[in-house]
Every structure is written in structure tokens, then in C-alpha cells.
């Protein structure tokens, strides 16, 4: 359901000129697979995730999700793709500070004007163990609770693909393990495809596949 072929990406830096970050990157991922992408800081892991998410475009190559080359989509089609087909989980949670936990989870459904919003939100609150925190703002939640809200928000639209950028990076070891348990259990039961960018080798080991990004190439 995810296929990259010949993907290049470079950036122009004032001091050093053009720097190649990704060079002829390609891989194929079947639906329901979990993939970890590891590598040292600055190797281009987050850049690769941004390209798959349609937040940036490659200099060359193709990125196909369910057979559609997202590199050929206009901005309106890309917006629809991001809203309906993928969800992202960030290291820093990226919750809306003025919305409650329940409202943050429900937000994607509100944007897409879908139905049964309250019922679906309540179901996910129960699955992530936060029913008792539904009315709390992010500033009133712990880091682990915020990440559980972020995971629920990512899953509520039933995306084809979930992208996670260091999802346990801001959490202590014990909390990170609990959040990872929750994420992988939900991904497995809902049969989602997951791509995780991480430095955490324990987290990477939980994925079915692992690829290392080094000098612009995947191994």
C-alpha cells in the first residue's frame, strides 16, 4: 500500500550550498505492516516522513499510497489525502491547547464533517484509557496522557497509513513503553500500516521491518 521509487530530496543551505538528504530512496510496504526507520540525527528520517505525508515534495521519484502517486496531486487533492488517508503522531504531541482531550480526538471528524462523532470519540477514549480525562485540557494532562490523546486522534478517521515521528521521544522509559504497547496493540487490532521514525532500538524492534537511513540511502 506504500511504494517509494527513486526518491531524491535536497536542500539549499546558505553556507554549504545544495545538500542531498535523500538519494534514490525506494521501498515497498504491504498493508498492515509495521516499519521502523532508524538512523543518526540529521540523516533525513523526518524529511522522508514529511514526503510520505505529502507535506513536502521530492526533487525526483514517485511516492504511491494505495496506487496513487501523491507527487502528482494538486494542493486541494493533497489536503484531502492528508485528511482522509494518513494520520501523524508527533514527539511533541501537537494537541490544540484550548481544546479538551475529547475535543482534540474529535477534531479530525469535525473537519471532515463525518457522523457519529461523539460515539466514535467516546469509544477511542475508552480504548486509550482516558474516559476520566475527557474534559481536561492538554496542560492538565501528563506527557503520557497527551500522547495517548494524540494516538486516539490519529486513529479516529481510520486512516490507511499512520506515520509516527519519535512517538516516545518525550516520555520517560516506563511511560514510553506503555504508550508503545498501546500504539502497537491498536495498530494490530485495527490492521493499520505504521511507519515509525525512531532512535529507540527497543521501539524499532517491535516493528515487523526495520530500515536504516544513512548517507541518503535506506538499508
pLDDT digits (tens, 9 = 90+) for 54-107: 999 999 999 999 888 999 999 899 888 888 889 999 988 999 999 999 999 999
At 79 the pLDDT is 86
At 219 the pLDDT is 85
- Residue 109's nearest CA partner among 98, 101, 120 is 120
- Look at phi and psi of residue 33 and say left if phi exceeds 0, alpha if psi is from -120 to 50, else beta: beta
The CA-based angle 212-218-219, given to 5 degrees, is 65
Return the CATH fold of 31-41+74-218.
Rossmann fold (3.40.50)
At 12 the pLDDT is 83
Which residue in the block uniquely carries the three cell numbers 498493508? 31
Q: What are the Cα distances from residue 56, in Å, to 27, 101, 136, 164?
A: 18, 29, 34, 16
Distance CA 209, CA 218 (A): 12
Distance CA 161, CA 65 (A): 9
Which residue in the block uniquely carries the three cell numbers 500522547? 147
Low-confidence ranges of the chain (pLDDT < 70): none
Q: Residue 132 belongs to what H/E stretch?
A: none
At 103 the pLDDT is 97
Phi first, then psi: what are they for 122, rounded to 5°?
Answer: -60, -40
* Contact present, 33 and 59 (Cβ < 8 Å): no
Amino acid at each position: 500500500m506504500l511504494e517509494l521509487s527513486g526518491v531524491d530530496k535536497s536542500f539549499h543551505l546558505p553556507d554549504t550550498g545544495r545538500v542531498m538528504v535523500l538519494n534514490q530512496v525506494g521501498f515497498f510496504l504491504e498493508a498492515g505492516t509495521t516499519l521502523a526507520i532508524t538512523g543518526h540525527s540529521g540523516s533525513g528520517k523526518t524529511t522522508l516522513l514529511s514526503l510520505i505525508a505529502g507535506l513536502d515534495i521530492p526533487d525526483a521519484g514517485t511516492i504511491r499510497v494505495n496506487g496513487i502517486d501523491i507527487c502528482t496531486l494538486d494542493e486541494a487533492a493533497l489536503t484531502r489525502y492528508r485528511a482522509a488517508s494518513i494520520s501523524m503522531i508527533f514527539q511533541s504531541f501537537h494537541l490544540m491547547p484550548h481544546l479538551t482531550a475529547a475535543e482534540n480526538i474529535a477534531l479530525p471528524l469535525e473537519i471532515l464533517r463525518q457522523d457519529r462523532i461523539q460515539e466514535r470519540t467516546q469509544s477511542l477514549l475508552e480504548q486509550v484509557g482516558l474516559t476520566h480525562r475527557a474534559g481536561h485540557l492538554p496542560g492538565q494532562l501528563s506527557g503520557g496522557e497527551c500522547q495517548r490523546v494524540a494516538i486516539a486522534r490519529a486513529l479516529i478517521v481510520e486512516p490507511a497509513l499512520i506515520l509516527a515521528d519519535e512517538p516516545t521521544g518525550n516520555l520517560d522509559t516506563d511511560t514510553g513503553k506503555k504508550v508503545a504497547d498501546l500504539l502497537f496493540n491498536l495498530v494490530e487490532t485495527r490492521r493499520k500500516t505504521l511507519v515509525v521514525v525512531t532512535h529507540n532500538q527497543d521501539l524499532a524492534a517491535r516493528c515487523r521491518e526495520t530500515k536504516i537511513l544513512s548517507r541518503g540511502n535506506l538499508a
